[in-house]
Amino acid sequence: MTYGYKHTVKYYETDRMGFTHHSNYIRWMEEARIDFMDKLGWSYQRFEDEGLISPVIAVECKYKKPTTFPEIILIEVSIAEFRSIKLRINYVMKNEEGVIVCEGASEHCFLNKEGKLVRIDKDYPEFAKLLITKQE
């Protein structure tokens, strides 16, 4: 299942050539992931209130076509893989014409406040069920 998030390219996100600086695409992935979690009903605020953190353990980004100010980019978010202690999320970014401008992925683990791995399926079965039902 895929969710969408819209981002308008800001002027400050561009470089001297007028293209979006490559680092911003990863920031957009984070914006889209936070929005996705909100839509699932497990906001990052709820996560933290539960005593959890979910750090990024890997990220990849494949640039297909440059974007410029003030393009609107639709970021499609989907769960590629969920295992009890690890989550992989895919992102497909398209311009308003539907052309893919970037594809990416991020991987996250789940930790408690002490930094110990948390088995989401065992400790948070409601959240695990949501993730499982949203996998591609």
Distance between start and end Cα atoms, the chain: 6
- Cα–Cα–Cα angle for 111, 114, 116, rounded to 5 degrees: 45
Cα 83 to Cα 14, 130, 135: the distances in Å are 37, 13, 11
Cα 98 to Cα 79, 92, 94: the distances in Å are 21, 11, 5
pLDDT tens, position by position, 57-80: 999 999 999 999 999 999 999 999
Pick from 33, 99, 42: nearest CA to 65: 99
Beta bridge partner(s), residue 62: 103
Please state whether beta strands 2-8 and 52-53 pair in parallel, antiparallel, or not at all (unpaired). unpaired
Q: Report all structural domains of the chain as residue ranges with CATH numbers, in order of start.
A: 2-116+129-133 (3.10.129.10)
State residue 22's pLDDT score.
Answer: 97
pLDDT tens, position by position, 10-56: 999 999 999 999 999 999 999 999 999 999 999 999 989 999 999 99
